[in-house]
Amino acid sequence: MDRLSLLSVLITGLVILFPALLSLGIRIIPGQMQPSLGTTERIYSTSVVTETFTASRNNLNGIGLSLKNPNYQNKQNVVVSLFSEEGELLGESTVNGVSIPDGDFIKFIFKPVEESRGKNFVFVLSSVWSQDSDATEVFYANEQVTNSQKLLNGKIPCLSKSSDPKVSMIDPKNNPGCTLLLLENSKKANVSYVTFYKSTNPFLAIQEIYLGWWDRLYADKSFFITYLLIVTGLVGSLVLFRRSKSN
């Protein structure tokens, strides 16, 4: 094989294998694409947003949100708390405002919930030490839809009255002295978020990526056939060229 053929094989191999190599760097798998961004909501001491979702995979271990923080104005902790359907706190992840660039997509990662697939969860985004004036803002999805499933089992987020206030989910009928935090907006709008799941086997991720790649290529049938013909035509011409040269 001459140098150019070798180089072509190398480049072709790289094109095909590069996604596999890069897949090894995927530690968390997104559950869905992030919906496009719309309006924002300020997050501070008495203002939180909540979102209810059903996990699409096992090992739920993160929530990604787009946050606004012009000139790093917020320097307080921003917390995502994950609750089960029953209101039990399953995980918490904190990112400080000093490391939230304006408009960045921030991943809040917590310990994986192993058997999460098909179960309902609530996450609450809060920042109890922030003030309205220096609040970070979370982006809602562009298309706002009424979501009657915002609250699970009638529970809503509240802030405990203590020196170290914590967000928890409570039944408002049986309020044990919490500050209720639910915003009116949060009932109407959907937060633009992404759920993340820990990848336990990198080879499964590679397999999923290649199968998805193939499926989408094959789904566009007329292009798939044309593309296959072009590639086959070029390879065939090369083989014919080689044969005619050797004769």
Partner 1 sequence: MKNFLKSDYFKILLLALLVRVLIMPFYYHPDIKTYYFQASFLKEGVVNIYSYLESNKSKLPLKEDFVYFPLSYYFLGSYEMLASPFLGSGFKDWLYDANATSMEKVGVFRYLFILKIPYLILDIIIAFLLMSFFSNQEQKKKIFSLWLFNPISLAIIYIYSNLDIISVTLTLVSLMLLQKKHLVLSALCLGLGAGFKAYPLIFLPILILHAEDLKEKIKVVLVSLGTILVIIAPFLFSPSFKQQTLLSGLTTRMLLPTINLGFGETILIAIMPLALLFFYTLLRNNLVKKEPTYYFLIILILLFSFIHFHIQWILWVMPFLLLTLVKKSQLSKFMWFLLVAAFLIPIFYNDSSMSVSALRPISTWFVLVPIPYKIVGFIYDPFIVQSLLHTFFASAALIITWALLKEESKWID
Chain contacts with partner 1 (rule: CB under 8 A) = 4-5, 7-8, 11-12, 15-16, 18-19, 22-23, 25-30, 33-36, 205, 209, 212-213, 216-217, 219-220, 223, 227, 230-231, 234-235, 237-238, 241-242, 244
CA 50 to chain centre: 16
- CB of 112 vs partner 1, minimal distance in Å: 16
Provide the minimum distance between the beta carbon of 68 and partner 1 in the complex, in angstroms, as a whole number. Answer: 17
In the complex, least distance from residue 215 CB atom to partner 1, rounded to whole angstroms: 9
Rounded to the nearest whole angstrom, what is the least distance from the CB of residue 212 to partner 1 in the complex?
6
Distances (CA, A) of 92 to 37, 80, 123, 148, 242: 24, 6, 9, 25, 63
Q: What's the sign of the alpha-carbon dihedral 13, 14, 19, 23? A: positive
Instruction: Choose between 16 and 98: whose C-beta lies nearer to partner 1.
Output: 16
Rounded to a whole number of angstroms, the minimum distance from the CB of residue 45 to partner 1 is 32
CB of 170 to partner 1, least distance (A): 35
Contact call for residues 195 and 56 (beta carbons, < 8 A)? yes
Planar angle of CA 179, 183, 187, nearest 5 degrees: 130
CB 147 within 8 A of CB 52: yes
Two tokens at 225? 């056939």
Cα separations in angstroms, 174 against 148, 154, 170: 21, 11, 8
Q: What is the strand order of the sheet 178-180 is part of?
A: 167-170, 156-160, 178-180
Q: CA 152 to CA 144: how far, in whole Å?
A: 20
Which stretches of the chain are assigned E, i.e. beta strand? 28-30, 37-43, 49-54, 60-68, 77-84, 89-96, 105-113, 120-126, 136-141, 156-160, 167-170, 178-180, 193-198
| CA neighbor of 100 nearest in space, from 123, 134, 144 | 134
The smaller minimum CB distance to partner 1, of residues 33 and 145, is found at 33
User: From the CB of 186, what's the least distance to partner 1, in Å?
Assistant: 22
Closest CB to partner 1 among residues 3, 173: 3
